[in-house]
Each structure stands twice: as structure tokens, then as C-alpha cells.
A and B are shown apart, each in its own frame.
Chain A
Amino acid sequence: MAEVRVERLVKSYGAARALDEVTLDFPDGGFFGLLGPSGSGKTTLLRAIAGFVAPDAGHVFIAGRPVEDVPVEAREIGMVFQSYALFPNMTVAENVGFGLAVRKISGAERARRVAEVLELVQLGPYGARKPQQLSGGQRQRVAMARAIVTRPRVLLLDEPLSALDKALRVDMQIELKRIQREVGITTIFVTHDQEEALSLSDRIGILRDGRLIRTGTPREVYSAPGDAFTARFLGEANILRGSVEPAGLRLADGTLLPGRATACMAVRPEHLRLTAAEPATSHRLRLRLVQRIFGGASGTAVLDWQGQRLKATGPDDTFADLAEGQEVWASWTPDRALPLTD
């Protein structure tokens, strides 16, 4: 186990900057989620830490030591690939034992540790199977077991759950978190799935166009995204723009939202309250309910405000008394309006 630090990391592919002066600390034993759209540089960052990508400038430190001159195979990392990359010519036990075999760990000790880690990922009886005989979720756990059995200093996960279907993905999130807590390895994972990042990580970092634009705990970043991109990328956000006046924010339809204002702000869909009667707050908008979407446990209302699509969500029957096409009021408490830089 060790902490990882990257310092002013730069990597270009032709004219495109995949990493642009990224400096970031990954605390020892933490579960760190790197989040961003495709092409944001998150995978390049992970691969630079692993050693598959040689940065043009900057440093990677593992346990305080620079590792630029350390090849992948000597960095003592564990990595789980998006495709799992299980060796098809080996059994599950041979796959898991591979890292121990290259470290010349003897047969009995190896068998013991392989059995132990297969137990940890709840695949005890599957050692003799070939990867092709396993389901997606089982393969994922084999990949995980193979990566942690060598007791690496850092565990790197590249979109580890994206190949699974949704129901399984939620189960595996819980599983992944449990395993990571039990072994306590510093874990860095890359995802484009914001829900996954929010539920798994202790801390997250948001990347855009090769730059790190926001870090913090999931709660911090979600409740104070800071900029419009982060607000939209992490969760959903209704972005309201206007001009700042001494009294507050003046929106395009003339509505004045009183109080301290920035030219751009966001309200999360779950914080919008929809009513047919005018609410007793000045933090409200008059808009049209376009569509109600039934989502089982929760419902969504699609709204049209000055040609802009907004969304409100709530428990299943929140919007039952409102009709599609009706003019309604959307309101929120002032502290739910998140100030943003554009």
C-alpha cells in the first residue's frame, strides 16, 4: 500500500493534449474515482500511473518515489482491464496465480494464497474452470482476484464494470467496495459512469480535455460543483443563466431571483418542486410541463422554460396531480441554487 502522486503530468498525442499539467494526490488506502467524458484524459492518466504511457513531462510518484524509470512489471501494481484480459489458455486458478508464479512463489504457498483470494471474491469452487466458462460478473471477480493476490501497492481499475449489465453492475459495485475495504489497497479507478463514481469513491477527480477541473469527496463535488460542466457531468442539473443585478439574478423571461448571484447557477432536478398554484417564494419559474415519465420508484417531469429543457424528479407520484401541457410553477429553496462559473 502506498500513496500515489502525479505532478504536472503532460502527455500529447500529436496536437491533442491528453494530459495537461495534471497534479493530483491519491491518498493511501483510498478509493479514488477519475471521471470524465471520453477523450478527457482519464484513461491516459491511469495508464501513465501504470507505466504503459510515458509522460512527455511531469512525474509519477508511488510511495514517495518517482517511477519514471521503473518499467510496468516492476511497479508492483495490480490492474483490472475493461475487457478483464483473463488469459484464455489458463484456468481461473492459473490466472490468479500468474503474478505469484512470476514472483517465484512456491507451489504450496501459491495454492494457499490463490485459494484465499478466490474465497475473498466468492469464487472458491471455480479454480479449475476456464475463463470462457464463467459469466461476466465472475470474470470481473477473477480479474480483481488476480490483481490483488500479489498484494500490489496500488490497484488500478479501468472501467471495471462497464461490460456488465445494469443490475449486475450495482451488485458488483457493492462487491468491489467490500473487497477494497477488506484489503485496504490504494485504488484508482476510471469511469465515465457518474453513478458508479459517486457510489464507489472516497474522492473523485473530474477531468475535461486533459485538465483536472475539480476534486473532492463525491458529496462535496455533487453539492458544490463549481462549474457548469461538472454540475452537468456529475448528476443532472438545470442550468439557469442571466445577468447579475444589484438585487439578484435577472433571467431572460424577466424573473428576478433575489440574493447574492452569479451569472450562471444550477438547481438539481430533485430540488425542484412543481405546483399548480403560485408558491410563496420569489425563487421560482413559470414553465410548462411537457411530459411526465414514470420510473418506478421515482418520477421525472420534463419541463419547457423559454425553449430550454428542464427536469424535475421526485418519488413516484409526486407529479400525479399535474397534467401534461399544463403551465406550472417550479420553485426551490435558495440554498439549493448552486452558484457556478461558466
Chain B
Amino acid sequence: MTNRLLARLGHLYLGLILVFLYAPILVMAAMSFNRSEFYQLPFDFTTDWYAKLWHNGEILAAAGRSVWIAGTVTAIATVLGTAASIALYRHSFPGKALLRALLFPPIAIPWLITGTAMLVFFFGIGLDRGTPAVIIGHVALALPYVIVVVSSRLATLDPALEEAARSLGARPWTVTRAVTIPWILPGIIAGALFAFAVSFDQFVVSYFLSEPGDSTLPVLIYTSIRKGFTPEINAVSTLIIAVSMALMLLAARRVRFGGED
């Protein structure tokens, strides 16, 4: 009796969580197809906002810039993070524990503070605001995520696998390429997705480090909401969600997160 009741409550709880998570998104997606600019009902289907979006050069340019920056950040952070994870896995050196510990605070420190610090630092070393500064900032933010995810996958690697490859005559780089990387690939892909998400969603650091008129999509959305909300923002957000959900589903089909089975 109690078990069944608990199971029902569990289902209800799960249902509520899904509603809270997805209801606002569904409303937003619905409103991007509603004719009224002020979210008035009855619902009147239209694709006008998408057509308008298609002609809004400002939003399209910002979206393109966001994708380009996120792609670059993903590439850099994934390569650096994977290399760092393998180094931390293979070698012991003085200060290794400290270095590992230092990787976590960037995840916990509020982005507002990190962003301010970066702004001050970049100003100090004479690096102007602009896309390079944004990319460097995003890489710094994304790197710990990649290292954490790849390292947790590396922790499941049987050391005997690498030793077996060496005993068969493989040099260190061959061992890495033929044995280590295939094993940690799910972690690398997951880390890359995190890196992309961290960069693509990033507002604070982008806001601080990008030049006015050269902003990323989150920054543009923020500034245009302040000016006055239009359903075009709903439309672009819906598109972003659709694309990122599709990417996640693709990744989930290829990779099982959280290890084997």
C-alpha cells in the first residue's frame, strides 16, 4: 500500500519537475507562433516572427558570432582539457593535488566576479575588449568542466590497458591514440558539449569583454529585452532550444553518460 503510494508520489514529483522545467519553454515556443505581440489569446498561428527574424541582421549576426565563438572555445577547451586530464592521470609531480583542487573553484565562483576579474586583468595586460578576449575568457571558464568530466572517465580506465599496449611495443603517443583516447571518448564528447554550452550560454563574461555592437546572442537578447520585448526573441530562443536538444539527443544516442551500461 505505502509502496504504491510512494511510487505515485514519486511520479507526481517527477511530473511537477518536468512541468516546471519545460512549461515556460513550451509557452515561449508557443508564443513565437502567436500573432499577438503582447501574448494575447486566443492563439492565432503565424510564422511571421520567424520571417522577421530571418530579416533581422542584428540578431542573425549575433547568433552567428555566438556559434562561431562557442565552436572555437569548444575546440580549444576540449583539446587543452583532455591533454591536462591525461597529464594529471599519468604523472605525479609536486603540487599535483593543489593543482587539482584549484580546478574546482572556477566552477563555484560566481561568473560576475570571474568576469570582473578578467576585465581588470585584461585591461591590466593591455588586451582590449573584443572577440579574442571573449574567447580566452570562455576557454578559462569551460576548461574546468572538460577536465572534471574527462578525468572522471579516465578514472575508470584499467591501467593494465595502457600497460598492455606498451608491452606490445607501442610508444607513449601510440598508447594515447590507440587505447586511452578511444576509452575516454565519451568523456571528451560530454566535455565538449559542456564547453559549448558554457560558452554559448555565457552572458556575464561576454557582456564585460565584448565590444559594443559586436555582441553575442545572450548579450543582444539582454539588451533588446531592456529596450522592449518582441516575439522575435521567442523565435530565436525556440530555434536555439530545438537545435541544442537535437544535439543532445544525437550525443546521447552515441554516448552513454555516466559510464558503462
A interface list, Cβ under 8 A from B: 50, 52, 71-74, 76-79, 81-83, 85-89, 98-99, 102-103, 146-147, 150, 156
Contacts and interface: CB of A to CB of B under 8 A. Distances in A.
Contact of A52 (B158, B163, B165): B163
B177 to A, nearest CB: 11
A50 B158 contact: no
Contact of B164 (A71, A76, A85): A85
A106 B89 CA distance: 33
B161 interface: yes
Given A98-B178, A102-B174, A85 B168 contact: no
A164 B178 CA distance: 28
Contacts of A147: 167-168
A98 B158 CA distance: 18
B21 to A, nearest CB: 35
A238 B168 CA distance: 45
B183 interface: yes
B25 to A, nearest CB: 37
Interface in B146-192: 158, 160-161, 163-171, 174, 178-179, 182-183
B166 A73 contact: yes
Contacts of B174: 102
Contacts of A102: 168-171, 174
A99 B168 contact: yes
Contacts, number: 62
A48 to B, nearest CB: 13
What 9 A-B pairs are tightest by C-beta distance, nearest first?
A99-B168, A85-B160, A85-B164, A79-B167, A89-B182, A81-B160, A72-B166, A102-B170, A102-B169
Contacts of B163: 50, 52, 72, 79, 81, 85
A73 B160 contact: no
Contact of A85 (B158, B171, B178): B158
B171 A73 contact: yes
Interface string B210-231: 0000000000000000000000
B179 to A, nearest CB: 6
B169 A87 contact: no
A236 B164 CA distance: 35
Contact of B183 (A50, A71, A89): A89
Contact of A103 (B164, B167, B169, B183): B169
B178 A87 contact: yes
Contacts of A79: 163-164, 167
22 contacts: A52-B163, A72-B163, A73-B166, A73-B168, A73-B171, A78-B167, A78-B168, A79-B167, A83-B158, A87-B164, A87-B165, A87-B178, A87-B182, A88-B183, A89-B182, A98-B165, A99-B168, A102-B169, A103-B169, A146-B168, A147-B167, A150-B168
A307 B179 CA distance: 57
A123 B1 CA distance: 55
Contacts of A103: 169
Interface in B88-136: none
A32 to B, nearest CB: 18
Contacts of A146: 164, 168
B160 A83 contact: yes
A81 B182 contact: no
Contact of B179 (A76, A87, A99): A87
Contacts of B170: 73, 98, 102
Nearest to B182: A89
A91 to B, nearest CB: 13
Contacts of B179: 87
A156 B242 CA distance: 55
A73 B169 contact: yes
Contacts of A52: 163, 166
A169 to B, nearest CB: 20
Contacts of B165: 87, 98
Given A87-B179, A89-B183, A98-B178, A50 B167 contact: yes
B160 A82 contact: yes
A219 B37 CA distance: 95
Given A73-B168, A102-B169, A147-B168, 17 more contacts: A50-B163, A71-B166, A73-B169, A79-B167, A85-B158, A85-B160, A86-B164, A88-B183, A89-B182, A89-B183, A98-B170, A98-B178, A102-B170, A102-B171, A102-B174, A146-B164, A156-B167
Highest count of chain A CB atoms <10 Å: which of B164, B166, B168: B168
Contacts of B169: 73-74, 76, 99, 102-103, 150
A150 B169 CA distance: 9
Interface centre among B158, B160, B164, B178 (most CB of A within 10 A): B164
Nearest to B164: A85
B164 A81 contact: yes
A89 B181 CA distance: 10
A77 B167 contact: yes
B183 to A, nearest CB: 7
B178 to A, nearest CB: 7
Given A98-B178, A102-B174, A85 B166 contact: no
